[in-house]
Chain A
Amino acid sequence: MPRERLKIVVAGHVDHGKSTVVGRLLADTGSLPKGKLEQIRAYCERNSKPFEYAFLLDALKDEQSQGITIDFARIFFKTAARDYLIFDAPGHIEFLKNMVSGASHASAALLVVDAKEGVRENTRRHGYMLSMLGVAQIVVLVNKMDLVGWGEEAFRRIADEYAAFLREVGITPAAFIPVSGLGGENIARRSDSMAWYHGSTVVEALDRFQADRPAANLPFRMPVQEVYKFTKMGDHRRIVAGTIDSGTVRVGDDLVFYPSGKTTHVATFEGFPVSPGDTASAGSAVGFTLAEQVYVRRGEIACKRGESAPSSGTRFRASVFWLGKEPLRKGKDYAVKLGMARTKVRLEEVHRILDASTLKVLAEKSDVDRHEVADCTFMLSAAMAFDTAEQNVLTGRFVIVDGYEISGGGLVREALEDPHSKVREKVIRRNIKWQKGLIPRELREVRYGQKAFLVFITGANDEFRKRAARALEQELYREGRIVYFLGFGSVLYGVDADIRGSVGTHAEDIRRLAEVANIILDSGMILVVTAHEFGEQDWDLIRTAVEPERTAAVWLGGSLTTDLRPDLRISATEPTEAVDEMASFLQDRGVLPPD
C-alpha cells in the first residue's frame, strides 16, 4: 500500500531558524541518506566551523551561498505515520515570490519565530500570505528557546502576540510549540528543559495535520484544458480533456459549458491503455467525448446542469498580492489566467492597499507595489467563467501576467455587473434551453462546403456599404454558397416593432439583431449584415450573443469614425474590389473553401 503523503511549507522571518528545524526533522526522524550527517560533521571539523543542522539542508540542496535560503527546495522526509514533502521557503523579503510558490502547493505550514527576536515583519507577512493562499492548518514553532533560558513567559508573550495577529487574518493555529532546533528539543523528542510544556512535539503536531481531500462534494467544475482530435492512426475521437477541480461526473450527465452556455452530455470516458470506468471525480486528469458536436474550447468550465452555475462575466472584485518588479497600475494591459482561461485584463479600480506585515492601510496610493496586497476591481476583455473564492477556491483564484512574467495572484471576492451582463444571462439561458434538431450544424456545414459565419459590414458611407454588402451576397451565391443578406433596418421595423419609437432601445435593438443572426448561423448559413457606424460597445454586444469565432467586423471606406477595432478594413471605392477583399479574407478564415 502506498503511504499517504502530506505537503508542508516551513515559513517565517529570515534567520529565525527554519533550516535548522528542517535539518533536525530530517536527522531525528532518520530521513537522511546514509553517511550524510557524518559527512557534514567532518566538513565542519575540517573548516573549523561549529556543526549546524542547517548545513545539512544546505548540503542536500547544494546551496553554494550558505547562510540564507534563496529559493524553496523540495525536501522529502518521513515519520512513522506517513511521508512528507517539505517546501523549505526563504524568509528574506526579497524572495517572497519563492515563499509563495512553495506555500501554494502545501496543505499545512510550520511558522517559525525566534524566541529572542520575537514576531518580526516577515513572520506576520508569511502568516498573511498563508491565509490568502488558503493554507489553514498551521503550527507555530517558537524556536531558539535555549536563548531565553527555556522560559515559559517569553514563549507565552510571543504566542499571544502572534495569535492576535493571525486571528485578524483569519488563522487559528492548531498549536504553539516551544522548540530548540539546535538541541532538537520538542522536535522529534520531548524536551527535558521545558517541564512546563505539556503539548505535542513538532512531529506529533505534523502527524495530526489532515491531508487535503479533493473537493468531491462541491459542484462539478472542470476547466477545459484542450479538445483533442488526433487523427493519426485512424483515431476519430474528439476528446474534451482537463483536470477535475471539484465534484463528480458520470457518463450521461448533462453538462453546461460556461461562459458560452453550450449544453450536451457525456458520451464516454476515454483513457489509455484501458478505458476508465463511467465516473470520475475531483483531482483526476480525465478526457471524455460528448454526445453532440458542440464547439467548446480551452478555458471554458464544464459544469453540470442542475448544480449551481459559476458566474460568467468580464468584471470582478478581488484580493490580490503583487510580486512583480513593476507596480500593478491602471491603464496598463495585463493577462489574467484563471483555471485554463486566459484573457487581457485591466485594473479598473484600487479600493484599498495593505501592508501585509502591519495590516495598515496605505492611504493615497493608486499603484500596488511589490509585496503589497490590495482589494481591486478588474475588467477583462472577454467573458470568463469563475466562482468566488468563498464558493469554490479552485475556480475562484487567478494569476496576473505582466509581459512574460507571472506577477501577482488573487482571489475573486465578488462578481460585478458589466455592460453586457444582462444580455449574457439571456444568452446562457437561451443556450441551455435551446431545442436541438437532429441535424447538427456541423453536418450542414459539410454539405454546404462552408462555415456558418457572420460578416458584419459597417462604415460611414451608407450607400457604398449597402451596395458592397449586397454584392458580396450575390457573389457568394454565384459561387454556390448558402448565404443571406440582412439589413439592420429589416430587423428594426419587424422584430423590433414593439419597441420601435421608444427612447433608449439601441442596445435592445442590437441584442435582437444578434439573436436573429444566431438563429441563421445555427442553420449553417453565411450571413451578411450591414449597419451604420457601429462602435466597439455595439460590436461587443453582438459577440456576446453570437460565437465570436464565427464573426468578423468589416469597416468599409474612408477613415474610422467610431472606436471600433474591425477585423478587416477596406479602403477600396469600388464594390467589386471590396467584394474581392472580403472573399479572400473569408477564405483565409476557413469560411469559404480554398480555390
Chain B
Amino acid sequence: MDHLDELEARGIHILREAYSCIPNLAMLWSIGKDSTVLLYLARKAFFGHVPFPLVHIDTTYKIPEMTSYRDRLALEWKLTMIVGRNDEALSQKRTFPDGAVDRLGCCALLKTKALRDTLSGQGVRSRLDLATGKYESDRDHEPYTGVIAGIRADEEGSRSKERYFSPRNQENRWDLGDQPPEFWNQYKTDFAPGTHVRIHPLLDWREVDVWEYIDRERIPTVSLYYDKGDGRRYRSLGCYPCTFPIESSAKTPKDIVAELKTGKFKDIAERSGRAQDKEDRGTLEELRRDGYM
C-alpha cells in the first residue's frame, strides 16, 4: 500500500463509520476538487451509491461553470442534490459585491449562516428533481445530525487542529479548547440531542495528495482548475469577487502535481488566491468556530 492507498482506505472507513453511526447524514459538496474527491470516495465506499444527500451552499456568486458542472454530475450520478441559500441577505443586498459588508462579513452571511440554516432545516432547501432537471423546494426539513466535509489539515491553522469526527454544540459552535479524544479507529459517535457532528475524511490529505489521487483515479473535475490557453487557472475555487486565478500553464492533473512538487507552487500556500483569508490573522478560526467549513 502506498500512502494514497492508505489515505483512501481511511477515508472510506470514516465514511462508512459515519453512515453506520450517524442517523441523519449529509455531505457538503462545494464543487471544488476536495469535496469532489470526497464524493468519489463515497461512491467507492458504497459501491457506486451515495446513500445520503449532497448539500451545496450557493452564494449566487459562484463562478457559473461550477453550477453547471454540479447539475450535470448530479443528474448523471443520480445524486440527491440539495441547494441552500441565504435568500434574505441576497434580497436585501447585504453582500460584499453590493458594497454593504466586508469580505468576511459576506462569508458569514452567504456561507456560514446559509450553511447553518440549511443544516438545521430552517433555511431554504431546494432539491434537484432528477426527472425534470429542475430544482424544487425540498419537503424534508429535518435537521442533519452529521455533515461530511472535505476540509484538510494543511489548508490553514484552525483546520490543522480538527478531528475526524468533530462535534458542534446546539448553537453550531466548535469548542476548540475541549475537543473529544479520538484514538485508533474509534471516533466520537454519541451525541446529545440538538448537537451535530462534522465528519472530515480528508483531514490527512495534502493538496498534492488530492491531485495525485485525481490523476490516478481519473476523477472528473471542473475545468476552471486547468489552463485553457491564456496561462491562467484557478488553484482554489470560491466566489468570483473574492477568488482570483493564478498564473500557471498546468493543463492536466499531472501538470498540477508537478507544479506543486517541484514547480513554482512548491512552497506557496494553496489559499493565497483567497482574499478573505488575508483580512485578519485568526479570523478564519473565528469564522470556523461559528460554523464555517
Interface residues of A (CB under 8 A from B): 1-5, 30, 32-34, 59-64, 70-76, 83, 85, 97-98, 100-101, 103-105, 133, 214, 225-226, 228, 230, 232-233, 235, 237, 239, 241-243, 270-273, 283-285, 287, 298, 323, 335, 337, 340, 397-399, 401, 403-406, 409
Of B157, B177, B285, most A-chain CB atoms within 10 Å: B157
When the two chains form the complex, which single residue of A32, A76, A232, A337 contacts B206, counting CB atoms closer than 8 Å? A76
Whole-angstrom distance between the Cβ of A148 and the nearest chain B Cβ: 33
Residues of B within 8 A of A70 (CB): 176-177
Which single residue of chain A is at the shortest CB-CB distance from B9? A285
Instruction: Name the CB-closest residue of B to A216.
Output: B1
A272, B43: Cβ atoms closer than 8 Å: yes
Could you tell me if A225 and B17 are in contact, using CB atoms closer than 8 angstroms? yes
Q: A62-B156, A283-B1, A404-B191 are in contact. List 18 more A-B contacts (CB 8 A).
A: A4-B2, A33-B267, A62-B282, A72-B161, A73-B160, A73-B161, A74-B153, A76-B153, A85-B204, A97-B180, A98-B181, A235-B47, A270-B47, A285-B8, A398-B186, A403-B190, A404-B192, A406-B188
User: Top 4 closest A-B pairs, CB basis?
Assistant: A62-B157, A104-B183, A74-B153, A285-B12
Asked whether A226 lies within 8 Å of B160 as measured between CB atoms, the reply is: no
Q: Output the nearest chain B residue to A3 by Cβ-Cβ distance.
A: B3
Q: Which of A63, A103, A235 has most chain B Cβ within 10 Å?
A: A63
Instruction: Assess whether A225 is in contact with B267, with CB atoms less than 8 Å apart.
Output: no
A5 nearest CB neighbor, chain B only: B3
Flag if A133 contacts B160 (CB, 8 Å).
Answer: no
Known A-B contacts A74-B153, A243-B9; the reply to A230 vs B161 at CB < 8 A is: no
Q: List the interface of chain B (C-beta within 8 A of A).
A: 1-6, 8-10, 12-13, 16-17, 19-20, 43-49, 51, 78, 153-154, 156-158, 160-161, 163, 176-177, 179-186, 188, 190-192, 203-204, 206, 209, 212, 267-269, 281-282, 284-285
Q: Write the chain A residue with the least CB distance to B4.
A: A2
Contacts of A397 in B (CB 8 A): 184
Q: How far is the CB of A376 from chain B (nearest CB, A)?
A: 18
Closest residue on chain B to residue A72 by CB atoms: B161
Q: Which residue of A lies closest to B272 (CB)?
A: A33
Question: Per a CB cutoff under 8 Å, which of A64, A272, A323 touches B285?
Answer: A64
Contacts of B192 in A (CB 8 A): 404
> B70 to nearest A CB, angstroms?
20
Residues of chain A contacted by B191 (CB below 8 angstroms): 404
**B109: shortest Cβ distance to chain A, in Å?**
22
- Determine the residue in chain A with the shortest Cβ distance to B16: A225
* CB-defined contacts of A60 to chain B, threshold 8 Å: 157, 160
- B184, closest chain A residue (CB): A104
Q: Which listed residue, B154, B161, B186, B282, touches A76 by the CB 8 Å rule? A: B154
CB-based nearest B residue for A82: B3
Residues A406 and B47 in contact, CB atoms below 8 Å apart: no
Given contacts A4-B3, A59-B157, A406-B180, contact A226 B268 (CB under 8 A): no
In the assembled complex, the Cα of A558 lies from the Cα of B86 at a distance in Å of: 59
Chain B residues with Cβ below 8 Å from A225 are 13, 16-17, 20
* Contact yes or no, A101 B181, CB < 8 A: yes
> Which single residue of chain A is at the shortest CB-CB distance from B185?
A243
Pull 29 A–B residue pairs with CB atoms less than 8 Å apart, ordered by A: A3-B3, A5-B3, A33-B267, A59-B157, A61-B157, A62-B156, A62-B158, A70-B177, A71-B161, A74-B153, A74-B154, A74-B203, A214-B1, A225-B13, A230-B51, A232-B49, A233-B49, A243-B12, A271-B47, A272-B43, A283-B1, A283-B5, A283-B9, A323-B181, A399-B184, A399-B186, A404-B192, A406-B188, A409-B186
Q: Which residues of B contact A73 (CB under 8 A)?
A: 153, 157, 160-161
Determine the distance from Cα of A240 to Cα of B12 in the docked complex, in whole angstroms.
14
- B181 near A100 with CB under 8 A, answer yes
Partner of A63, one of B19, B157, B180: B157
Question: Pick the contact of B182 from A101, A133, A398 — CB < 8 Å?
Answer: A101
| Complex interface: chain B residues within 8 A of A105 (CB) | 183
Q: Note all chain A residues with C-beta closer than 8 A to B186.
A: 337, 398-399, 406, 409
Which residues does chain A contribute within 8 Å of B49, judged by CB atoms?
A: 230, 232-233, 235
Are the CB atoms of B1 and A98 closer together than 8 Å?
A: no
* Residue in B closest to A99 when the chains form the complex, CB atoms: B181
Closest-by-CB residue of A relative to B192 is A404
Q: Is the CB of A74 within 8 A of B183?
A: no
In the complex formed, the residue of A with least CB distance to B2 is: A2
Contact between chains at A401 and B157 (CB < 8 Å): no
Give the contacting residue for B44; candidates A72, A97, A272, A406; CB below 8 A: A272
Q: Give A105 to B156 CA distance when docked, in angstroms.
A: 21
Interface centre among A103, A335, A401 (most CB of B within 10 A): A401
Expressed in whole angstroms, the minimum distance between the Cβ of A218 and any Cβ of chain B is 16
A272, B157: Cβ atoms closer than 8 Å: no
CB A184 to nearest CB in B, in angstroms, measures 19
B13 adjacent to A285 (CB under 8 Å): yes
**Which of B10, B179, B185, B191 has the largest count of A CB atoms less than 10 A from its CB?**
B185
Query: Which residue from chain B places its CB closest to the CB of A134 in the assembled complex?
Result: B184
How close is B287's CB to chain A, nearest CB, in angstroms?
Answer: 11
Residues of B within 8 A of A76 (CB): 153-154, 206
Residues of A within 8 A of B177 (CB): 70-71
Contacts of B268 in A (CB 8 A): 33-34
